[in-house]
Each structure stands twice: as C-alpha cells, then as structure tokens.
Amino acid sequence: MTLLKFANAGPALAAFLSGAFWIMAARAKIGASSEKVGVGWGGIPVNAKDHTGTVVDLLQTHALQSKWNSRAASMSGVAGMLGGIAFLFQLMN
C-alpha cells in the first residue's frame, strides 16, 4: 500500500468512526431505577420519558450521550486533519 493510499484511508476510517459514535450517542439511554417521572431536589429532572415512552434517567443518559458525542467530535477532527495531510501528499506527487 502506497503512502498516498494509506493517507486517503485514514480520513475515511476516522469519518466512519465519527458517524458510528454519533449513532451511539443518538441511541444512548440509561433506564431509570423507578417508573416515577418527575423532578428531583432543586427542580432538576431526574426521570423522564423518551420518545418511545420508556422512562430514562435523564442525567445519566445525558452523561452517556456526552461521552459518545465527545468521541464523535474527536474522530471528526482527526478525519479533517488526516484529510488535510492526504491533500498535501497529493500536491507533492
């Protein structure tokens, strides 16, 4: 595999991972320990129903989504940087 092919494969792989991580973020949810829906101390929502009617722990679900979103954004940045490097290799050839 030539260096140019390797340089072009990197952005594609990083973009694929970014997309996969964003799908994981969109699907992430943590079930609530009880079926009670409402707010907790200080008015912060604790349990809420999602679009399917499932009761989820809102704060823990947001934390899990944040983790996957961070990974997706990182891979998106890596894809951009590797794409720039691949473009520079093409200019040199």
User: Using one digit for the tens of pLDDT, what is the confidence trace for 12-64?
Assistant: 999 999 999 999 999 999 988 777 777 666 666 688 888 888 888 888 999 99
Rounded Cα distance between 4 and 93, Å, is 9
Q: Please give the pLDDT value at position 6.
A: 79
pLDDT at residue 90 greater than cutoff 70: yes
Q: Please give the pLDDT value at position 49.
A: 83
Cβ neighbour number for residue 11 with a 10 Å cutoff: 19
Query: Which CA distances in Å does 21 have to 13, 58, 83?
Result: 12, 20, 19
Q: Which residues, in sequence order, are CB contacts of 93 under 8 Å at separation 6+?
A: 4
pLDDT at residue 81 greater than cutoff 90: yes
Q: Please give the pLDDT value at position 54.
A: 84
Predicted confidence band of residue 1 (pLDDT cuts 50, 70, 90): low
∠ CA 48-52-57, rounded to 5°: 30
Rounded Cα distance between 32 and 50, Å, is 11
Q: Please give the pLDDT value at position 43.
A: 63
